[in-house]
Chains A and B, each alone.
Chain A
Amino acid sequence: MSAQPCLGVTRVPARKRYVLRRWLLLGLSCAGLLACSAVRPPVVAAGWLQAGSTPALGWSVSSQQLATLRPAIYPDGHGLPPGQGLAGNGARLYATQCASCHGAQGEGGTAPELVGGEGPLTRPDADKTLLTYWPYATTLFDTVARSMPPAAPGHLSADQLYALCAWLLERNGLWPADTPLDATGLASVRMPNRAGFIAHRPTDGP
């Protein structure tokens, strides 16, 4: 390798310079082609699938085991646990569990406001709140159940969760104060912005 002239330092005859430049250009083009061919992602799994010889190292799971998983909660109420709660009980829970971040009356603080919100959403400074923006009440239950309060998430009972949701919905004029909220009731709440979303189904590509 030491015999190779270092381009640009060693004097190279004009003809050789031309040839070297041609080879250099060819090399660069090849590098470019390689780069282009790499644009299409390799389909590594295809061969394994065609051969029918995937490793198959998963354990089967029994229905009893699956029943221990927290069910996904859908807008129609599917997955909601049994239980119920009144807004009055929710108010007390809110004060101890939520008010320090969301404000004493749900007006917001270091966490988003949960009560009220100025419409319409076409305003230059649109207010995207539970009342003005959220399309489903079940999402509120699910979010609180899985992630609130942040210091100790996932520990509120179903009755506590229904009570909290009852209070928040009552404050927003979406649930009566004297009616216990349960799975059927929660799924029946029609949020004001229910029809405000355009659901896309993107294909993988342009």
Chain B
Amino acid sequence: MDVICPDATQNAPRRGAMSPFLDRRVFLRRGAQLALALPVAAQAGPALAAASDAGAIDAHGAHTDPGPATLDAPSQGVAGAGFSNYGMPAAAERRVIRLTGSNRDVPGNGVSWTPLESLEGILTPSGLHFERHHNGVPQVDPQQFKLTLHGLVARPLRFDLAALLRYPLQSRLLFVECGGNSNAGWHAEPMQKPAGSVHGLVSCSEWTGVPLRLLLAEAGVDPRASWVIASGLDAAATEVSLPLAKLQGDALLALYQNGERLRAENGYPLRLILPGWEGVTQIKWLHRLEVTDRPVMSRNETAQYSELRPDGRADQFTFVMGPKSLITSPSFGQHLPAPGVYEVRGLAWSGHGAVAAVEVSADGGRNWSLARLEPPVLDRCFTRFRAAWRWDGKPAVLQSRVRDTHGNVQPGRAALVAERGRNGYFHYNAIVSWAVDADGVLSHVYV
């Protein structure tokens, strides 16, 4: 069996009865007898756990429904609600929200986290895409909007939205991750919060926009140029320097997110998308691109988004987000109602390429099994992984680790801290460990 870390061959997953992870086909074949995986009860839904606990088990091993005798739903026989101009989540799901946190004196300086633990598949609903703003969400008038492309170019150009919308468009499913995502991982004690409230400064959308290389070609880039300074229309006037090669490569000027025009908080009307790179470089409300021959050394590429090493020096322009994976279910705040078979579900991604393999462990990393990668498995995009796991009711520690198509492997926390110290702050991508106690309660632990 494939193992992610060459040095872990001695820990190769044991097959058969010893491994708590079930072979995928065995799981699917036996699914009928097992009545599928038991539901994982979220804290917000104690009724689900209670129902499972209360239900008796019949002769075939299936739970009997403790609910009312009639199977007809109570909503039948009543006229339904009317049509709506823009659909909203079901009323009962309104608690699936972004948690927000911001500066007391500057309410627009803060973040909102994607509730990863409540979502499935690989696409983040636009309204739940994470936010990191330095001074709020500007209201940009699309009629007045212009993008200026200037600097070391033969022909400085300005584009309005009508012009940009006539260019050939490209759609790609891509994750966007804040360079500061998961930075609580540097803390001495593991943060006891839901997965999304610690690791949710990452989301995945279908972005549609104009390949920037077309506009750069029209402007005629000077051979001396090597950087581009990108600026946003936000109140912080966020500005970063970006290597020209990336902008002449796969950069997109995004106009659409998940099929509709960008949400205001995601850069309406125009956002730079740089596949795999940290979020701060993917300038929202983009209105200016200045081609130049050196970086401008703005605050967000010197004092911030640089990574202090143990030797006191700092890494700068570390744009690519490393390989990372996270078990979203079961995870902190959830509860396993009884021993049995559960589906371990999670997300994996890498700013270097596509996900090549994800392994899961239930014993804190001593033994690993391959998880199933659910198609599509795309370049610089969330990949959903799944593994059938039999919980025997004893304490367990669930982990996942990813290897990408370039051979980059997600590190363990001890290895990451040993290499980068405790003050790196940005680009934390260590393995996340969820402990399951004998009562089925999940907590966050360091292993």
Contacts and interface: CB of A to CB of B under 8 A. Distances in A.
Interface string A107-142: 001110000000011101110101001111011001
Contacts of B276: 204
A40 B250 CA distance: 11
A61 interface: yes
Interface stretch (B71-79, B175-183, B211-219): B211-219
A66 B150 CA distance: 8
Interface residues of A, number: 66
Contact of A58 (B157, B313, B354): B157
B379 A40 contact: yes
Interface stretch (B197-205, B298-306, B394-402, B429-437): B298-306
Contacts of A44: 168-170, 211
B235 A147 contact: yes
Interface residues of B, number: 81
Interface in B277-320: 288, 290, 292, 294-299, 302-303, 306, 308, 310-320
A198 interface: yes
A197 B313 contact: yes
B229 interface: yes
A70 to B, nearest CB: 8
A193 to B, nearest CB: 8
Contact of B243 (A38, A122, A196, A201): A201
A198 B313 contact: yes
A32 interface: yes
B302 A136 contact: yes
Contacts of A59: 157-159
Interface string B313-344: 11111111000000000000000000000000
B316 A197 contact: yes
Given A38-B378, A60-B155, A142-B298, A200 B315 contact: yes
A61 B103 contact: no
Contacts of B298: 139, 142-143
Interface in B397-411: 405-408
A32 to B, nearest CB: 6
Contact of A101 (B105, B294, B318): B105
B317 A202 contact: yes
Contacts of A74: 294, 296-297
Interface of B: 103-106, 108-109, 134-135, 148-150, 155-159, 163-164, 166-170, 172, 211, 213-215, 217-219, 229, 235-237, 239, 243, 245-246, 249-250, 275-276, 288, 290, 292, 294-299, 302-303, 306, 308, 310-320, 352-354, 375-379, 405-408, 422-423
Interface of A: 31-32, 34-36, 38-42, 44-45, 48-49, 54-61, 66, 69, 72-75, 100-101, 109-111, 120-122, 124-126, 128, 130, 133-136, 138-139, 142-143, 146-147, 150-151, 153-154, 196-206
Given A39-B378, A57-B163, A150-B108, 10 more contacts: A49-B217, A54-B217, A58-B163, A60-B155, A101-B106, A110-B103, A124-B422, A126-B308, A147-B235, A153-B236
7 contacts: A35-B375, A48-B214, A58-B219, A136-B297, A143-B299, A197-B315, A206-B352
